[in-house]
Amino acid sequence: MISAKEIAARVEALAREIRVAFAGTDKLVVVGLLRGSFVFIADLVREIDLPLEVDFLEVSSYGNAMESSREVRVLKDLRGEIAGRDVLVVEDIVDTGFTLTHVLAFLDAKKPARLETIALLDKPSRREVEIRATWTGFEIPDEFVVGYGIDYAQRNRNLPFIGKVRFTG
Ligand code: IMP
Ligand code: MG
């Protein structure tokens, strides 16, 4: 669906926008949502020419199934403090919107100075709660995708491109 080359070009453009948006900050914390964002955040932070820290949050959403659970549990909290700091949350896909909504409420309670979000992919046609990332890499149709960190039942995260899963039979 999206080649490694297209992803790289988009990540570079997004990083430029982020650098402008956070210019002058010495307090940026980039928070990756495990596990799907690990490839995206690795590429993204290397293109952001600002002083920053990286932290990770893990929440449960899908298990091995494809149905979004409306309940989101925090499995691994941040290691660092974000009170008074500028925070950029990095997500792989915004689908129904439940995960991002819960994560933002959870992080907002820690009183960051600023809380922005970036999602590599967005499936707007699947949305059940009204939410949008500040920055989006690509809007995609309602297809189940894998690669570039994103899995199906924990497989295919290592694909360098985004591919759609074809379900047979
Ligand atoms: P939401 O809570 O429905 O917005 O779900 C977001 C999460 O569901 C993402 O962070 C992914 O982990 C997962 N997800 C949604 N769509 C896909 C997909 O097409 N492939 C793999 N995981 C997906
Ligand atoms: Mg995820």
Please compute, for residue 108, the number of CA atoms within 13 A of its CA located in the half-sphere on the CB side.
8
- Mean per-residue pLDDT for 74-98? 97
- CA of 61 from ligand 2 middle (Å) equals 7
- CA of 43 from ligand 2 middle (Å) equals 17
The pLDDT of residue 161: 98
Considering every ligand atom shown, identify the ligand nearest to the alpha carbon of residue 121 and give its number: 1
Q: pLDDT of 88-103, one tens digit each?
A: 999 999 999 999 999 9
Instruction: Kindly indicate the confidence band of residue 7, based on its pLDDT and cuts at 50, 70 and 90.
Output: very high
The pLDDT of residue 52: 98
Average model confidence (pLDDT) across the chain: 94
Which of 35, 57, 75, 150 for mutating ligand 1's site (highest number of atoms within 8 Å of CB)? 150
Considering every ligand atom shown, identify the ligand nearest to the alpha carbon of residue 128 and give its number: 1
Compute the distance between CA of residue 93 and CA of residue 72 in angstroms, rounded to an integer.
15
Residues with CB under 5 A from ligand 2 (ion): 36, 92
Is residue 133 predicted with pLDDT exceeding 80? yes
The angle at the Cα of 86, spanning 82 to 88, to the nearest 5 degrees, equals: 95
pTM, full prediction: 0.95
- Mean per-residue pLDDT for 36-44? 98
Nearest CA to ligand 1 atom 10: 93
What does DSSP say about strands 114-122 and 135-139: parallel, antiparallel, or unpaired?
A: parallel
Could you give the C-alpha distances from 129 to 59, 76, 111, in angstroms and in order?
Answer: 18, 24, 23
Tokens standing for residue 42: 């690795």
- CA of 63 from ligand 1 middle (Å) equals 11
Is residue 62 predicted with pLDDT exceeding 90? no
Around ligand 1, the residues with Cβ closer than 6 Å are 36, 61-62, 68, 91-100, 144-145, 150
In the chain the domains, ranked by start, together with CATH numbers, are 4-164 (3.40.50.2020)
Q: What are phi and psi of 156, to 5 degrees?
A: 75, 10
Could you give the C-alpha distances from 7 to 18, 148, 152, in angstroms and in order?
Answer: 16, 9, 19
Among 67-76, 104-113, 148-157, the range scoring the smallest mean pLDDT is 67-76
Helices within the chain (DSSP H only) = 4-21, 38-47, 98-108
Task: Answer whether 32's CB lies under 8 Å from 90's CB.
Answer: yes
More confident residue, 33 or 65: 33
Closest CA to 57 of 35, 77, 81, 30: 77
